[in-house]
Structure 1
Amino acid sequence: MSVFMKIIDGEIPGRFVWADDVCVGFGTIAPITDGHVLVVPREEIEEYTTADDTTVAHLSVVAKRIGAAQQATFSSPRAAVLVAGFEVAHLHLHVLPAWDERSLRFDNARPDLPAEQLDAAIEQVRAALRDAGHGGNVPLEMSSPALG
């Protein structure tokens, strides 16, 4: 079982911004920029190229909505989506506010940020998603992938 399945199942804490029947979105513990979110299918799919087209399309739509919320929250000129998947063998899209291409490198990840800073950034994304009309997909509690 992947670490992402353990987060989705509540065995490991997560900071959730999105939940639906197909996927969840939660903050990474090592963000490249504030508000960096991973969009992860609930089904344990190993990599991007083995996922069915319907799942990939759904993940893309969710990433777009989260990216728009990040842009609104952090006043970034772009929202970036990165697909790598080397660190966890479970398909995931990295969605993050971006200011330039040079900063979109995994060696810019910040694994030692205080929990309060991670919580605050993710709560801002959650609020922006609610403000954009996606409140039905924002879990009632940041720590749960369940819908209210």
Structure 2
Amino acid sequence: MASIFTRIINGEIPSYKIAENDRYIAILDAFPLVKGHVLVIPKQEVDKLFELDKETYSGLMDFAYDIAQAVEKAIPCLRVGVAVIGLEVPHVHVHLVPLNTMNDINFTQPKMKISPEEMNEISEKIKSYL
């Protein structure tokens, strides 16, 4: 069965897309820790980060680098944190989280609820820096 990310990539589930190419996609996290929390995902459905071939892994990190640069310009923060957890969805994904405190990247905290209008605004602002 396809992961939720594969279903998003295939257009079966809507998302707030930041960027996409033939191998990777970046979307706003639907259940963000903070405003501007982005997921960077390879289109190839692989469960674990270190199961990716080196070329796909390197390409994922290069793609994430460009997205992180845009996030840092678009969202007021001290820096952009990076996390790869992978326990909730069996499809590699990199979390890019705007940080102002250590708690901003605490995955045990309740997730934010952001209106669709604000999610669109955040998405457009990040995209404007790409």
Category of TM-score, reference length = shorter chain: over 0.9
Judge conservation of contact 1:70–1:76 (CA < 8 Å) in 2: no
Distance 1:13 1:111 in 2: 18
- How does the TM-score come out when normalised to structure 1? 0.82
- Tell me which residue corresponds to 1:37: 38
Distance 2:37 2:123 in 1: 8
- Tell me which residue corresponds to 1:103: 104
CA-based RMSD of the aligned residues comes to 1.3
- Secondary structure of the 1:107 match is coil
- Tell me which residue corresponds to 1:61: 62
The alignment-based identity, stated in percent, is 29
- AA aligned to 2:4 is V
- Structure 2, unaligned stretches of length 5 or more? none
Give structure 1 regions of 4+ aligned residues with deviation exceeding 6 angstroms.
none
Judge conservation of contact 1:71–1:79 (CA < 8 Å) in 2: yes
Q: Deviations over 1:39-83 (max 9, x none)?
A: 111111111121111111111111111111111112312111110
- Tell me which residue corresponds to 1:47: 48
Distance 2:110 2:64 in 1: 19
- How does the TM-score come out when normalised to structure 2? 0.92
- AA aligned to 1:33 is V
Query: Which structure is higher in helix share?
Result: 1
Q: 1:109 to 1:66 in 2, by over 3 A?
A: farther
1:92 pairs with 2:58: no
- Structure 1, unaligned stretches of length 5 or more? 130-148
1:124 pairs with 2:125: yes
- Tell me which residue corresponds to 1:4: 5
Judge conservation of contact 2:97–2:104 (CA < 8 Å) in 1: no
